Amino acid sequence: MPIFRNTIRRSRREHLRRIDHAFEMVFRVLFVCYFLFIFSAWFSYRETFHIAEVEIRGVQAVDAGSVEGKIESQLARHLLWKIDRGNSILYPRSAMRSAILDVDSRVKDVTIAVEGKKLTAVISEYSPAFLWCPPENVSTTTITMRGCSFADLEGHIFSPAPEYSGDPFIVFATAIEAGKTNDVLPREEFDRVSTFLRSLSGLGLVPRVVRQSGEHDFLITTAEPWAIRWSSERDPAEDARNLALVLKNLNEDHSTASVLKAVDLRFGNKVFYR
């Protein structure tokens, strides 16, 4: 029995020793955290590191005042109620960048840097290259574009467009699912369509409306009185060569050109007049 009592006493002493050690470690951690907090709060208010100036660069359509307001709002927020973040060491770069990207859908990217006491935000904006319009708003007789949006050279739809008359941009009338994509077309398909449109320009044709008439099928309206039917599954360069032959024949046969409604390039080297 005495042996069991000694074993129980040693086990209890070991348990109490472990508890004391755990409390000691917790106290040390809390002390270090408290020291770091006090030091950070003191350090954050040093005038040497204080951000005194904000500069906005690169803005064109985006409101510079709104961007600056977002930056100053983030700099005014304290960390843990005491630590000033308006300095070159602790300023919230990631939160600031996210806030600026939310200012306007035309903001493409943001670069933020601090030099001395000046914070500089360089804004990169989406540049309009095309219009995307709902297919139901576009017809062969449409002269006014409503409910359209701007798209950049990569086919990314980024901002509502004002109401236009005439042909300021090439218009894409494609079916997209709301909330699922912000692109005129899937990237690879858009690249093929863009390549073909550039080929048309090289042939002296001025593309105006690119209407999606079916999966991978497009009806392209130009400044000519006739349209072009084309499939994005085709090779743009080969179809451009076929179209060049068609244009040559039309220049020689004016009677065909006068009644032509469409040139169909969807069937390989067989070109159909309609």
Q: Residue 48: its pLDDT value, please?
A: 81
- The pTM for the full model equals 0.74
User: Domain boundaries in the chain?
Assistant: 47-125, 130-273
Q: Can you tell me the distance from the alpha carbon of 8 to that of 184, in angstroms, rounded to the nearest whole number?
A: 77
Q: What fold, for 47-125?
A: Ubiquitin-like (UB roll) (3.10.20)
Q: Are 250 and 256 in contact (CB under 8 A)?
A: yes
pLDDT of the residue at 190: 95
Given this model, what pLDDT does residue 202 score? 92
For 12-21, 158-167, 199-208, which range has the lowest pLDDT when averaged over its residues? Answer: 12-21
Please choose, from the candidates 207, 210, 205, the residue with its C-alpha nearest in 3D space to the C-alpha of residue 246.
205
For residue 110, name the pLDDT band (cuts at 50, 70, 90): very high
Question: In one letter, which amino acid is 173?
Answer: A
Is 49's pLDDT higher than 90? no
- pLDDT of residue 270 exceeding 50: yes
pLDDT: which is higher, 27 or 179: 27
Over the chain, what is the mean pLDDT?
84
Are 222 and 228 in contact, with CB atoms under 8 Å apart?
yes
Looking at the structure, give the CATH architecture of the domain made up of residues 130-273: 3-Layer(aba) Sandwich (3.40)
CB count in 10 Å sphere of residue 239: 21
112-121 pLDDT per residue, tens: 999 989 999 9
